[in-house]
Structure 1
Amino acid sequence: DPKNNRIEQWLNVVPQDGIANLSFQLSDEPILGTYVINVTSAKAYSSFSVEEYVLPKFEVIFEAPNQIYALDETFPLHICGRYTYGKGVQGMVHVRLCQKIAPFLPSASKPDLCQKFINQTNEMGCFFTNVSLSSFSRDFRYYQDSIVAEALLVEDGTEIHVNASHKLLISKIGGMALFDDVNSYYHTGQMYRGKIKVIDYQGKALKDKKVLLIVSCGEKQFKQKYITGGSGTASFSLNTTAWNSTLTSLEASVLHQDLDRDPWTVDLSYQRASHSVHPFYSTSRSFVSIVRVPETIPCGKKQAVQVDFRIYQEDLEHGPKRVIFSYFVTGKRGIVHAGQKTVWVGMTRMLKGFFSIPLTFSSTYAPAPRLVVYVIFPNGKIITDSAIFSVSMCFRNKV
């Protein structure tokens, strides 16, 4: 202890997996000062101090993001001093932000990159600034992908000071790929359609991005490249014949050579998108499929929605018969439209085709109407499909 009294000892200690884990209890009123721990056989020592705890008069609070992005130009930094009863502290704030060199580099090879701020707190006891990232490095080969902020607040009149720290991680994500308007199931032999969307780290759609779609089913793998259009999306249509009614996975990624780079930016990446597609199970081989509309539909526009179908004779009665396709549309207030479409079927074993449903998306439909199409066969079997459409904002009254 601080008076050089031996207060605890362990003899013949055998480490477990190279580690000796020991502890002892301080007395209720220990001597204040520095305590020393000695390992006699290894001639090693360490120390710790025991000090009287004094309840701080105030605290320093960081209001800063836990994560910033390498492509950001600035980030907000908000530091406040608060007394225990809530009032703001008047004083001088000293702030230091540093990005250290990579841990595997010699400390003398490059200097740490730092910014300093000194300012008086405002009437609320706070200091606010936008920190420019131009003083820091995006080259993570030489610098750590984090910034450590340290703040010291000195109270006016008393010179009492309290400090605090905060760590901001620098994300190397430049954006991500997303699957949009895709089903979780497919009909074998029928085209499987969907969209890939690419957005930046702020959620803005990115056009002219090259993306790679990988389709994996069993041990087979298919690859296809696409380029995003003006809305940041690329539509795809896949033949499911080779999927063999097995679980299929889709993976979309932005091609590496398409990443945004400059001499002081490295290792930026786009997050990949993945999606699993199950074979559609039904006691009927017949099916119906609504073709998705790729873009947002203007309010009040008449839209012809295509519906593909395949009907097998086994689901029909003998002789020429008709198939009645029923449909309805739901909006904000439930079902807003319903109808039927009749298709005559001859004696062929299977009938494959399509028809269109004309719909005008008014204010009662918006913003996300759902179309449901179904058939009830004479043998009691049912086939159905549904799709959600995006409709632009509608106003009841026009100017």
Structure 2
Amino acid sequence: MAPLFKINPYTLEDSFTFKATVAEEGTGITMVDSKYIDLDYKLGKLTFIDTPNIIEEGAVLNGKIKFTRYDGAAIALRTVYLFKGPERSAEFLQTLTTDSDGVAKFSLSTATISGDFQIIASALNKVWPLLFIFTFFTTPRYESAFKDISRLRPAAADNPTSSSLVISPVSDPLPCDTETPIPIKYTFTGETFSTPSLDIMFMVFAKGEIVQHGVMKAPVNSGQVVIKGKESLKLSVRPEMTPTVQVMVYCILPSRTILSESREFSTEQCFKNKVSVQFSFPTAVPGERGSLQLSAQPVEILPEL
């Protein structure tokens, strides 16, 4: 007998639904459970590692490609093809082979490549249309890697070529018992960040001792050539910190460059115990008698009037 209908395999979902029913003998109590499982046709993937996001114009791009199975195990002695993107007009660059750790190193001269560009690592010797076909059809495949490379821009008034940390000046003397924000401006140029923020450490010194320290989080975007921003250090002056304090900030960039900056601020004359002065009335005429009231903490010494 001929089938009543024909199933197109491309219209089926790549998943299974398992359902199990367990009945307890004697009581008839049943339990039902089901599990939904997706089918994944990726045998493994390629990943760019230790490859910078930003290089100078005409510089040599050095990087590595990691080839792993679906379970994370390294794939050794396998051929990897390096292309210049974009995907639809990919240009073959190099043929590489992974070592025993599943890593293939490459060194690429960019003297003939102008501006920003994209590199692609693939297990196939042709990018288009094979990647498109394998991605959208049920074909076992190794996932390719894509990476955008930006150029370090030439110097400009709004585009600095060096990284810096700057402690901005504030009106001094710093007031007592008041939280004063100290602006910390930062500029990071030509760095490759692997985290969404960078730690900026700070220390406050007074009379040769550290009186305050902590960490500020500076948000960073690895896709930007130059990253600028500002954080604020909250500084509250206490009596033991007078008459001057020194603020120092520093950070360690991914390139292992250390940025640091320090600035000294004067403070008001702060006293641990407060003294209040009050006259008996706010105004008086010449010759009129009045009184002055001084108050302080117990056992404090008041000056003679």
Same fold (TM over 0.5): no
Q: TM-score, with normalisation over the residues of structure 1?
A: 0.33
Greater relative contact order: 1 or 2 (C-alpha under 8 angstroms, separation 6 or more)? Answer: 2
Q: TM-score, with normalisation over the residues of structure 2?
A: 0.42
